Chains A and B, each alone.
Chain A
């Protein structure tokens, strides 16, 4: 019975090909968008995760200030001092390196050209923590760091924007706002970070120079630390917290007035955000599936009315109500199922296109593909049942008489 009903349904769809195609378009669009949304969402999430991991999953960011709710920015927090850094550096064995980081946005001038970029006061450990090597020249020397001498290391974007030659610029002086500094090194290309910011758009100067010439105080607002390999991030975090609580005289019952954050925490946040986005976009797409289902119901109702006489004939030759029900139900399932299959193909094509275009990971989730196919058939059942029941409940005499 089902095989015949299936063949019959295919024949019926072919008979009204144009109408069937237009009806199925709703399902195709719905399924295609669900597939595309979910797969692209997953691909984006995977790409972000990968690049965050590249950024350093063993990096800790130590900042002053409590974790607060939104809207409480601008509160002046008690910054760290040189001594905090030194204490952590000498007493937290879980850490590989730690460096203060301070940055400002300023104009760099070389000869006739100027260029606005990020000036970052760091120590050599910053490069280690970032896993960043020099393409040319050398890193800061100990005494340069201690006394804050006017030396700097340029990022590749600064080099290209000032049209400099990375080799011959070494030893020359560039001007920053109110002082000039000698270029001692050029960084390797690092590219854009997870959020699309150009990491090479930077000039590194000794931290003490930054404090003296730009920051104007001995405050530290960010310390970046790399945890030793095979040491759990949490352990390092706890150790740092203990040291800082002591140094900042925090009572046992009081909360930290500083934060130690890791990229993994960021990763969790990002994956949460992308999951929510994926679910939301998927849900919006699912609504279009319901619209598609209503389209199917509409056309099936028209089809049942049009074929009233056929239903009468079938009943006269001995079709039971359930035979008629199954026939129309299978027709709507086949219609929506075919729409689903085409939709899956279209969704995969869209995923592929977008993944290539946005340069994100290509993920085809087999689970969502199965769900989509089953769901499209379920739509066929749900929205096909009313027309099918209408057909099955017809009175054969009235149906035969129908003009």
Chain B
């Protein structure tokens, strides 16, 4: 489903150029749960951004469902994300002073879905994460765990093929973190491919495969048998 060939990312130019990713080769199959680990500065966020089509590689080929992402315009990549990708972030990234339901509805607006269907889909997605009694709450009225659930509902409401998670439990305590991971595993078991960056081993343990990154290259890969 995803195929990276000799992916490099270089920031700056000339003497100031710094290579963040160096000729990464990576294959991800549909339905996989991949964790990317590594110390800070290892390039794991950059790799995730490239996988999420938010960024493009400086060199190499990134084929996603046989589409060469590097050749797409920013707007084409936006359309790609719109229909195929869901994102969750460490800092939740919900819209402030906007209710849970409106936050979850937001991606559907860009899909051009009418407001009634939108509402129904948003409520359904919030139910799935167990927030049916927090529909009209602002992020400010929700706990960190609840905010991350809203974020998951927002990511999943469009039924994406891939969920991109950037340290989804980084701001949460262990108990809440595991609750969130249970949700994510649930979606993975429904067939959604999950790519997650984390630096916690017990969180990475949810994944079927862990990729260790160091100084822009893949140090090792570990497959978990579950």
Contacts and interface: CB of A to CB of B under 8 A. Distances in A.
Given A397-B49, A397-B55, A319 B93 contact: no
Contacts of A321: 74-75, 78
Interface stretch (B13-21, B105-113, B168-176, B204-212): B105-113
B78 A318 contact: yes
A400 interface: yes
B78 A315 contact: yes
Interface string A1-13: 1001000000000
B81 A1 contact: no
Contacts of B107: 317-318
A75 to B, nearest CB: 78
B112 A314 contact: no
Contacts of A319: 78, 82, 110
A144 interface: no
Nearest to A306: B96
B62 interface: no
B93 A318 contact: no
Nearest to B94: A313
B76 to A, nearest CB: 9
A15 interface: yes
Given A4-B109, A317-B154, A322 B75 contact: yes
Interface string A309-327: 1101111111111110000
A65 interface: no
A316 B112 CA distance: 16
Contact of B106 (A1, A314, A320): A314
Contacts of A320: 74-75, 78-79
B33 interface: no
B95 interface: yes
A318 B75 contact: no
A320 B109 CA distance: 12
Given A4-B109, A323-B110, A318 B82 contact: yes
A317 B87 contact: yes
A310 B95 contact: yes
A216 B108 CA distance: 97
A64 interface: no
B105 to A, nearest CB: 10
A1 B75 contact: no
Given A15-B97, A318-B110, A400 B89 contact: yes
- Tell me whether chain A's interface is mostly helix, strand or loop, or mixed: helix
A164 to B, nearest CB: 78
Contacts of A79: none
Given A318-B83, A320-B75, A309 B110 contact: no
A400 B164 CA distance: 14
B106 A397 contact: no
Contacts of B81: 316-318
Nearest to A7: B115
A396 interface: yes
B84 to A, nearest CB: 9
A317 B163 CA distance: 11
Contact of B54 (A1, A4, A323, A396): A396
Contacts of B158: 317
Contact of A317 (B49, B74, B97, B106): B106
B109 A397 contact: no
Nearest to A324: B78
A310 B97 CA distance: 12
B151 to A, nearest CB: 10
B177 to A, nearest CB: 21
Among B79, B80, B110, chain A packs the most CB atoms within 10 A around the CB of: B110
Contacts of B49: 397
A316 B54 contact: yes
Nearest to A315: B78
A15 B55 CA distance: 32
Given A309-B93, A396-B54, A400-B89, A317 B110 contact: yes
20 contacts: A15-B97, A309-B93, A314-B106, A317-B87, A317-B106, A317-B107, A317-B154, A318-B78, A318-B79, A318-B83, A318-B85, A318-B110, A318-B111, A320-B74, A320-B78, A323-B110, A397-B54, A397-B55, A400-B54, A400-B93
Given A314-B106, A317-B158, A400-B89, 19 more contacts: A1-B112, A309-B93, A310-B96, A312-B93, A313-B94, A313-B95, A315-B54, A316-B87, A316-B93, A317-B87, A317-B106, A318-B80, A318-B81, A321-B75, A321-B78, A322-B75, A396-B54, A397-B49, A397-B54
Interface of B: 49, 52, 54-55, 74-75, 78-83, 85, 87, 89, 93-97, 106-107, 109-112, 115, 154, 158
List of 10 A-B pairs having minimum Cβ-Cβ separation, nearest first:
A318-B82, A317-B107, A320-B75, A320-B78, A318-B81, A316-B87, A396-B54, A318-B110, A313-B93, A4-B109
